[in-house]
Amino acid sequence: MYLRMRARVSGVLYLNFLADRAYAERLAPDSFWPVPWPADPRKTLFTILIFHLQNGRPTWAPAVLGRFSPSLWQSNWRFYGSLMSLPEGQRPGVLFWRTVTDSLFLTVFGLRIARCFPVRRARRMEVRRHGHEVSALVASECGEAPSLLFRGALTDSEEVPGPLQASFSRFIDYARWIADQHLSLTVWPNDVVVQDMHLTFETARFVDVRPHAVSIPPLRDFVEDPERPLSCFWAENLEVWLDSIRALPRR
C-alpha cells in the first residue's frame, strides 16, 4: 500500500483499436486473460490514452498543495480483459503494455520505486485541443519510446461501436467504461504489480473525435490497420485517484 493520491486531468485523448488477441495472450498467460471482441474472438480491445497530469497531492492534502507538484505528460497503452490469480479471485482490468512519459520523476517512480508502469522515456510529448481540432505527439528518445502522431476533430456523434451496442446504449456509458478501468497490471519476470485507481466525473465531458491522420508504427505488430482506429474520443475535467499499489508473485 502506498500513500493515496489524487490529481487533475484537464484533457485526455483516447484512441481505441482492435488488436490481435493471440498477441495479448502471450504477454502474460499466467496473469492476464484478454477479453474476446464480440464480433470476432480473434480480436481484443486495445487503447492508447494521452494526458497531462496536474496538481497531484495526497488525498488528505488541501488543493493548494497541488500547485507545487510537477505536471507530467503520460500515455498508457493497454489491453482489456481479466486479471488472473489475484488473492480475491479473477477481476476485470487492463494490462499495461507500455507507459510513455518525458518525465524523469515518473520514469524512476514507475520503474524503480513503485514498479507500477512499464515506462519508456520520450523526448517530447503533447496533446492539444484548439477549438474543434485535437492533436497528439510522442517523439521518441533514441528509439526507446513508441512514436505517435495524431490529428483529428471533435464531432457531435454519439455512436457506440456496433458490436458493443448490446452492452452500451449510450455513448457516455461506453466512454466512461473505456476510461474508468479500476485495476491495472504491470508484468515483471518474477512478479506483477497491481494498481487500483478510479476516476471522478462530476464535471467531466466526453466528445467523439474523428481521426484525420494517425501514425503509430509500433501497432503494426498486433493491429491490422493502425491508421484506422475503432473509435476515438476526447475527455476533459477528470480527477484521478490512486487507491493502492501491491506486488504479487507470478504463479
Q: What is the pLDDT of residue 67?
A: 77
Angle at the Cα of 53 from the Cα atoms of 47 and 59, rounded to 5 degrees: 110
Q: How far is CA 106 from CA 102, 121, 154, 174, 178, in A?
A: 8, 9, 30, 29, 23
Among 63-67, 118-122, 177-181, 244-248, the range scoring the smallest mean pLDDT is 63-67
Nearest to 96 by CA among 137, 49, 56: 49
Residue span of the structural domain in which 178 resides: 5-249
d(CA 16, CA 209): 11
In DSSP notation, 18-58 reads EEEHHHHHHH-TTTEEEPPBTTBTTEEEEEEEEEEEEEEEE
4-50 residue pLDDT tens: 889 999 999 999 999 999 999 999 999 999 999 999 999 999 999 99
Whole-structure pTM value: 0.95
79-133 residue pLDDT tens: 999 999 899 999 999 999 999 999 999 999 999 999 999 999 999 999 999 999 9
Give the end-to-end CA distance of the chain in Å, rounded to a whole number.
21
Average of pLDDT values for 180-197? Answer: 96
Residue 1, pLDDT above cutoff 60: no
d(CA 58, CA 242): 9
CATH classification at residue 45: 2.40.400.10
d(CA 154, CA 130): 10
Nearest to 138 by CA among 211, 217, 212: 217
Residue 57, pLDDT above cutoff 90: no
Please give the tally of structural domains in the chain. 1
Q: If pLDDT is split at 50, 70 and 90, which confidence band does 61 have? A: confident
209-232 residue pLDDT tens: 999 999 999 999 999 999 999 999
**Contact in structure between 183 and 83 (CB atoms under 8 Å):** yes
What lies within 8 Å, CB to CB, of 132 at 6+ separation is 153, 154
Q: Which amino acid is at 97?
A: W
Q: What is the pLDDT of residue 143?
A: 65
Q: What is the pLDDT of residue 160?
A: 95
Q: If pLDDT is split at 50, 70 and 90, which confidence band does 56 have? A: confident
Residue 59, pLDDT above cutoff 90: no
In DSSP notation, 111-126 reads IIIS--S-EEEEEEEE
d(CA 40, CA 32): 19
Q: If pLDDT is split at 50, 70 and 90, which confidence band does 2 have? A: low
Among 67-81, 126-140, 148-162, 230-244, the range scoring the smallest mean pLDDT is 67-81
Q: If pLDDT is split at 50, 70 and 90, which confidence band does 70 have? A: confident
Q: If pLDDT is split at 50, 70 and 90, which confidence band does 142 have? A: low
